[in-house]
Amino acid sequence: NVTGKVTADNLVEHFPLCMQHLHRKLRELRHLKHFGRIQYNLFLKGIGLSVEEALIFWRKSFSNITDDTFQKEYAYNIRHNFGMEGKRHDYTPLNCMSIIMNKQPGPGDQHGCPFKHFSEDNLKAFLVQTGLRKDEYLKEILDLVRGRHYQIACTKYFEITKCLEDSNIKDGGEKHLIETITHPNNYFEQSLKLAKT
Ligand code: SF4
């Protein structure tokens, strides 16, 4: 089932950095603040979790609180994202523009886009941790970030880690090997598709 798969690292490796960060922080802190929950919950909905699966996933992840607290403080909003409460609006997963431009993360927040919201040192460390090791590639990505080309940096990161480093495909230079990333769910789908081919 999909809930089981989300907890498995082989699926998480297809997540873009924004969602990998939320996933790691959720595991570490056993909690995410409001906008982090919305960003991650809608992404999970987009990859195919049902509302029941999402509730189980979040309940298991928030392992420091009681069932009662979970039901009172969190379950409503999780169902709300799935259009099961309030005005029953069926919310769509957030795209990159909205993650980059809206709701700037403050202290203790984990939502947002690492390319836009991390300090350069933190971004560099995260890039290295997630598999980007060559200096020339790191420089290329950080230059794009300095120029505020966050989605192109994300696309380059995808191409380098998934198309170039493990294969003999030549760097296309200006030519992109994949569509420019404009949505975290599209990143996930393209990554999964590549793994299957
Ligand atoms: Fe996520 Fe989009 Fe930022 Fe990539 S560019 S990390 S998909 S928000």
pLDDT tens, residue by residue, 92-125: 999 999 999 999 999 999 999 999 999 999 999 9
Average confidence score pLDDT of the chain: 89
Q: What is the pLDDT of residue 4?
A: 53
Which residue ranges make up each domain of the chain? 2-81, 96-196
- Across 39-64, average pLDDT: 94
What is the C-alpha to C-alpha distance for residues 108 and 169, in angstroms, rounded to an integer?
Answer: 40
Per-residue b or e along 45-78, where b marks 16 or more CB atoms closer than 10 Å to that residue's CB: bbbebebebbbebbbebbeeeeeeebeeebbeeb
For residue 47, name the pLDDT band (cuts at 50, 70, 90): very high
With a 6 Å cutoff on the Cβ, whether 6 touches ligand 1 is no
| Whether residue 165 has pLDDT greater than 80 | no
pLDDT value at position 87? 82
Token pair listed for 132: 């980007």
Question: Could you identify the atom of ligand 1 that is nearest to the CA of residue 113?
Answer: 3
What pLDDT, on the 0 to 100 scale, is given for residue 168?
A: 43
pLDDT score for 160 = 93
Q: Is the Cβ atom of 99 under 6 angstroms away from ligand 1?
A: yes
Please give the distance, rounded to the nearest whole angstrom, from the Cα atom of residue 1 to the centre of ligand 1: 26
Least-confidence region, from 3-7, 49-53, 171-175, 185-189: 171-175
pLDDT given for residue 178 in this prediction? 79
Of all residues in the chain, the percent with pLDDT exceeding 70 is 89
